A and B are shown apart, each in its own frame.
Chain A
Amino acid sequence: MIKTILGFPALLLFATASQAAWEVNLPRGVTEVSREIYDLHMTIFWICVAIGVVVFGVMLWSVIYHRKSRGAKAHNFHENVLVEIAWTVVPFIILIAMAVPATATLIKMYDNTEAELDIQITGYQWKWRYQYLGEEIDFFSSLSTPRDQINNAAVKGEHYLLEVDNPLVIPAGKKVRFLLTANDVIHSWWVPDLAVKKDAIPGFINEAWTIVNEPGVYRGQCAELCGKDHGFMPIVVEVKAQADFDAWLAEVKQADQDKAAEAQKSWTLAELMETGEEVYNKACLACHQANGEGIPGVFPGLKNSPIALGDPGPHIDVVLNGKQGTAMQAFRDQLTAVELAAVITYERNAWGNKVGDLVTPAQIAELKE
């Protein structure tokens, strides 16, 4: 009665709201494979529940009825070959029944052939790089949740820690193959709705694939401990209809050209410092910290550092090419010429570092050639 008065829409709203807060199961996901996995998961779960009910049932029965306080006398049996063989063989048969569908699904998941789009995914501490093979598209994707929200200085948004600046965009209905590797330590690329989880291992390439039919936004996270900010490298996949996907491709290519042109204009110190601070906060702050002092013993400080205060050559070199055997990455491909010039200039003139010189985007663009 009350339900009909409230009306169906209201009920639905309530259901989704409470579900968001009390999600207790695997998502069914949006791919054929993810649904098969979900079904497998539920089948095995219910088999376990059934076995549990029987075993715990007998145990509970004994606890209630075969207790001394009820006057129960202990019987004297302590072996029975037939029973013991039975409870060895029956579980074995149940296991075979589980293994058959599991094997079928696994074989399907391993079929990496006939992909229509190949994307190379590279894990970096702590961001993802997506390269569309054959399309000349190459960008980095990192957490876009503002630091204030993490430090509880601002209200947390709906997609707290599950939002990025540049999502991975793939076309709907196409078989997309992911080639996974890593630049530094092992990461693991995981999007639950696609049921894709694969380790990204430095020096090796792993394969995974997906076909998503419904356009939408799907979120995931790095699943392998990869250092300090392991919890802060989410994955967002945007699935677009083919036409929208093509438009997006064109748009990204245009934007890349515009950025290249920007490097040739002349920049003032103030402009570079402003851009530099933005870039620093996005790309450098996680290790070298907001005050430029780093974390003693782990990440060196930039404030008063001989490299940041010395000749610009070595400074540019370490930012562009990284430092072998340390956590310092090569930023040559991660940032544009303007961003590189700006951030190097910023590091040389922030936190009381006052070199006063200016590294120009044109200079970096030349080095990047």
Chain B
Amino acid sequence: MNTSVAVSHHHGPASGISRWLFTTNHKDIGTLYLWFSFLMFLTGGCMALLIRAELFQPGLQLIQPDFFNQMTTMHGLIMVFGAVMPAFVGLANWMIPLMVGAPDMALPRMNNWSFWILPFAFAMMISTLFMDGGAPNFGWTFYAPLSTTYAPPSVTFFIFAVHMMGISSIMGAINIIATILNLRAPGMTMMKLPLFVWTWLITAFLLIAVMPVLAGVVTMMLMDIHFGTSFFDAAGGGDPVLFQHVFWFFGHPEVYIMILPAFGIVSEIIPTFARKKLFGYASMVYATASIAVLSFVVWAHHMFTVGLPLAGELFFMFATMLIAVPTGVKVFNWVATMFRGSMTFETPMLFALAFVVLFTIGGFSGLMLAIAPVDFQYHDTYFVVAHFHYVLVPGAVFAIMAGAYYWLPKWCGNYYNETMGKVHFWCNFIGVNITFFPMHFIGLAGMPRRIPDYALQFADFNAIATVGAFIFGFSQLIFLYNVISCIRNSKPASDRVWEGSHGLEWTVASPAPYHSFSEPPQVK
């Protein structure tokens, strides 16, 4: 994005393609991550639109059930590992050094490698669509034995792709931790860190803790498929439920990996546009840490119907309900930050406000899902689909959008088009709600998830959801256009960019020079 930049007298970016292939610059790598994640967002989005188009009416119209399952699987995997996670890593790469006053990430060469693994991992995973037997078709949660004994041959490529994504994430996480712990400017104490940095520090520890677990579970699958073990096969003394325990021990912290940095972004944006300091900074840090710790002891709430013993069921119900407390604290803090502020509603703020409301709605349905006896009715229905899309789309994705608009002027040196930004926001806001709110209804009324065709009583809400999905999907092109025109030519941005901006990233020039903080800044 910083194409015309090289203000410093140090060496600037290399020219041509080698700049991007061999770069060790955190800003370049952040840009690569962000563009890559946007590309994956559009790819996974096209798959979602294909799914929604098939579900527009009852009956099979466009695609056959096996391909439908491939689409739901690939959509989930691409959105989780290809869109949301790399987008947060991209933001971390760009912003963390600027926020802590560091000249670059602590491990720049590893940084390059962390990114460049990803395009290969996803190329391999997407290539399975063209293989004999098709792409993985067992859902993004790939429960055994559907993903082992009964899987298409392409499952092996899927396993290696997941390994590569895991390696990339772990290296990215190590880099972020090393940067935050070692490269802070003098005077930047831990309790002065911007919340985005704090949430990412905690997220990085989660990543290091659970990505090896994911690698473990896919390796066990690989062994079962090719080397005659029976980890997940009861006939050989194994246990299919073991798969779910291991998977969700990774999977639940993973959902917080996708939301904690979003909390951080929103905690940066709301104070800026409310022109008031964040309420309860310390409690925000403690709440984030307690959510992270709790995320390790709630995994079996994804498995309430597998036949857990009563005591297990109760433990996981109580632990899960407990998460509502720190999450509530966060929401209250955001609202208290707005209270008696002096608010304006630029695009980043609109996305952040929508985040607070819609993420909270996702939190409410989460609380309902935590109640084990009732979960027997909700489990594996569209109610769950509605829940996790509310926390992931107007949750994680809106926060990423908010962050992108918020820092875009700092990255490019130009303001984006505010009107177009607002149009994009309202299309997103309306589209998301039309898509996902009716899913609560059809889920409660009894529609299971992951089905290509449904009974007639679900027809109306499905048709509505499809319309919403197309509004949401195509409105991303407005964003794309806005970003490109912001990079090319637009109103130059001031260094502070926003009236209420706060933090070190706003002390450097706009656009941020290729090398920043060669001399560490003093933080008072």
On A, residues with C-beta under 8 Å from B are 20-27, 36-37, 40-41, 44-45, 48, 51-52, 55-56, 58-59, 61-63, 66-69, 72-79, 83-84, 87-88, 91-92, 95, 98-99, 102-103, 105-107, 109-110, 125, 149-152, 156, 158-162, 184-186, 188, 190, 192, 195-199, 201-204, 206-207, 220-232, 295-298, 325-327
Contacts and interface: CB of A to CB of B under 8 A. Distances in A.
Interface stretch (B56-64, B85-93, B211-219, B419-427): B56-64
A202 B461 CA distance: 35
Contacts of B307: 198-199, 201, 204, 206-207
B359 to A, nearest CB: 12
A73 B149 CA distance: 65
Interface string B434-467: 0000000100111011111111110111000000
16 contacts: A26-B377, A36-B373, A41-B377, A51-B364, A55-B335, A62-B341, A63-B338, A74-B275, A74-B342, A102-B371, A161-B455, A186-B145, A197-B376, A201-B306, A223-B305, A327-B150
A160 B240 contact: no
Given A68-B343, A102-B317, A152-B59, A44 B368 contact: yes
Interface stretch (B11-19, B180-188, B320-328): B320-328
B496 interface: no
Contacts of B276: 74-76, 78
A76 to B, nearest CB: 7
B80 interface: no
Give 8 nearest A-B pairs by CB, closest first. A203-B234, A297-B133, A231-B451, A297-B132, A23-B445, A206-B307, A48-B364, A78-B277
B71 interface: no
A21 B460 contact: yes
A88 B305 contact: no
Interface in B63-92: 65-66, 69
A232 B145 CA distance: 20
B356 A186 contact: no
Given A66-B342, A66-B343, A195-B376, A58 B145 contact: no
Contacts of A99: 317-318, 321
Max chain A C-beta neighbours (<10 A), residue from B134, B239, B283, B374: B374
Contact of B339 (A26, A66, A161): A66
Give the one of A83, A158, A203 with max B CB within 10 A.
A203
Contacts of A66: 274, 338-343
Nearest to B499: A68
B444 to A, nearest CB: 5
Interface of B: 58-61, 65-66, 69, 131-134, 137-139, 143, 145-146, 149-150, 152-153, 233-235, 239-241, 274-283, 305-307, 310, 313-314, 317-318, 321-322, 324-325, 328-329, 331-332, 335-345, 353, 356-357, 360-361, 364, 367-368, 371-374, 376-377, 379-381, 441, 444-446, 448-457, 459-461
B335 A159 contact: no
B66 A98 contact: no
Given A22-B460, A198-B307, 18 more contacts: A23-B441, A25-B444, A40-B374, A41-B368, A55-B335, A66-B342, A68-B275, A74-B275, A78-B278, A79-B280, A87-B329, A95-B322, A156-B59, A195-B377, A197-B380, A202-B145, A220-B446, A228-B66
| Interface-centre pick from A37, A75, A197 (highest chain B CB count, 10 A) | A197
Contacts of B282: 79
A18 to B, nearest CB: 10
A298 B234 contact: no
A84 to B, nearest CB: 5
Nearest to A109: B373
A152 B456 CA distance: 13
Contacts of A195: 376-377
A201 B145 CA distance: 10
A91 B381 contact: no
Contacts of B341: 62, 66, 72, 74-75
Which of A21, A195, A230, A325 neighbours the largest number of chain B CB atoms within 10 Å of its CB? A230
B374 A102 contact: yes
Contacts of B61: 152
A1 B280 CA distance: 58
B379 A185 contact: no
Nearest to A75: B340
B328 A87 contact: yes
A229 B137 CA distance: 12
Contact of A40 (B275, B321, B371): B371
Contacts of A83: 336
B361 A52 contact: yes
Contacts of B342: 66-68, 72-74
B439 to A, nearest CB: 11
B391 to A, nearest CB: 14
B457 A74 contact: no
B339 A230 contact: no
Contacts of A229: 65
Nearest to A87: B332
A150 to B, nearest CB: 6
Question: Which of B281, B338, B461 counts the most chain A CB atoms within 10 A?
Answer: B338
B280 A59 contact: no
Contacts of B448: 190, 221-223, 230-231
A24 B360 CA distance: 21
A292 to B, nearest CB: 17
A24 B452 CA distance: 21
A295 B66 CA distance: 10
Nearest to B283: A84
Given A186-B146, A188-B305, A297-B153, A95 B452 contact: no
A186 B450 contact: no
Nearest to A229: B65
Contacts of A152: 59-61
A165 B328 CA distance: 50
A9 to B, nearest CB: 23
B374 A227 contact: no
A308 to B, nearest CB: 21
A56 B66 CA distance: 43
A20 B457 contact: yes
A186 B373 CA distance: 21
A231 B372 contact: no
A93 to B, nearest CB: 10
A90 to B, nearest CB: 9
A150 B339 contact: no
B329 A37 contact: no
Contacts of A92: 325
Given A21-B460, A225-B146, A325-B149, A48 B338 contact: no
A149 B59 CA distance: 7
Contacts of A156: 58-59, 456
A127 B339 CA distance: 57
Contacts of A151: 59-60
B65 A228 contact: yes
Contact of B453 (A161, A199, A226): A161
Given A26-B377, A99-B321, A151-B59, A62 B133 contact: no
Nearest to A295: B66
Contact of B324 (A41, A45, A91, A221): A91
A68 B344 CA distance: 6
Given A24-B445, A76-B276, A77-B279, A225 B450 contact: yes
Contacts of B446: 23, 27, 192, 220-221
A149 B454 CA distance: 12
A195 B283 CA distance: 40
B457 A21 contact: yes
B305 A198 contact: yes
A225 B139 contact: yes
Contacts of B137: 227-228
Contacts of B376: 37, 109, 195-197
Contacts of A20: 457
